[in-house]
Amino acid sequence: MYLAGVDIGGTKCAACIGRADGEQVEVLCRAVPRATREYTPAGMLEALAGDLRGCLSALPAWERAEGIGISCGGPLDSRAGVVLSPPNLPGWDAVPAAKILSERTGLPAWLCNDANAGALAEWQYGAGRDCGDLVFLTFGTGLGAGLILNGRLYEGASGMAGELGHIRLEAHGPVGYGKAGSFEGFCSGGGIAQLARAFALEELQAGKSPALCPDEGALPALDARGVGEAAAAGDPLARKILREVGVQLGRGLSVIIDMINPQKIIIGSIFARCYNEIWPAAREVLEREALPAARAACEVLPSALSESVGDIAALSVARYHIETAEEPV
């Protein structure tokens, strides 16, 4: 089965063509990614449609892609195929992305938020294969969840299922999803940067000069990647920051396990890169907080797809909707 995929992100957008065969997927052609901020929404979709046509022309003459899967950060209306003003996509207000790409290529198209697309990718090709009930957490720029329940993608009454980043874990803390102390506030790239600045400032005000941030002038440059690299190298402040992230992750996971009782929770991006620094504290909290029977039934794993998840997620959206015979936009 040949499939087309489009990954729309706040930094870059990319189109690809792949072949899905049973439990394997292969990206056959990937167009050069385009910088999101350099295009209007309409201009970007026209460019992506052109990229898809270019990739499609490389297929054997007797082959044809069966549809386009589109992965995009929310909020969006997946049923209508419309992007609805995501915070990391300024200007993408009520953009009918699926309709435009379908009209420009002649292929059916389906739109899916990036967390749900990631869940489909892990379920079909990654750490969640042969698993009927799983939760995928993005843990990147933000925190969102995709839910596979009873062997199907679960989107909820209005397509908003899985917005776990909005859950409040503490009365105060880093801001994520517009809420201080939220799950996203503690477990996202932006949240980790906020936490790092707060911890570093506390040490500086106590008269210390930590290697991670030797003076107040270095505070604005602190980010999640730098904290992760420093923690891996043994920096004590960076490890303290990621331990706090792990504690809060454990609290959030406990809620998920008690509420949903999944077989697997698969976590991407920052968790996958900083697994050794984050997971021990999260595991300790889980052992105290989650119901023993539910905890014993659930395996928590880093993403198996890692940096390739964007392309595979978009292709997985197309495959899922084709196989479940859901109508395109």
Q: What mean pLDDT is predicted for residues 269-291?
A: 96
Q: Is 277 left (phi over 0), alpha (psi -120 to 50) or beta?
A: alpha
Q: Is the pLDDT of residue 306 over 80?
A: no
Percentages (nearest 5) of helix, strand, coil residues in the chain: 45, 20, 35
Q: What does the pLDDT average to over 43-49?
A: 97
| Chain centroid to CA 48 | 21
Query: How confident is the model over 9-36, as pLDDT tens digits?
Result: 888 999 999 999 877 888 999 999 999 9
Contact 286, 248 (CB under 8 A): no
- What CATH number matches the domain at 2-120+308-323, 3.40.50.1820, 3.40.630.30, 3.40.50.1100, 3.30.420.40? 3.30.420.40
User: pLDDT of 121-159, one tens digit each?
Assistant: 999 999 999 899 999 999 988 899 999 999 999 999 888
3-class state of residue 217 by DSSP: helix
| Domain residue ranges in the chain | 2-120+308-323, 130-303
Residue 329 reports pLDDT greater than 70: no
CATH for 130-303? 3.30.420.40
Answer for the pair 328, 112: CB distance below 8 angstroms, yes or no: no
Bridge partners, 17 (sequence order): 4, 29
Q: What does the pLDDT average to over 97-116?
A: 95
Average pLDDT, the chain: 93
Q: Is 327 exposed, middle or buried (0-12, 13-18, 19+ CB in 10 A)?
A: exposed
Q: Where does the pLDDT of residue 86 fall: very low under 50, low under 70, confident under 90, or very high at 90 and above?
A: confident
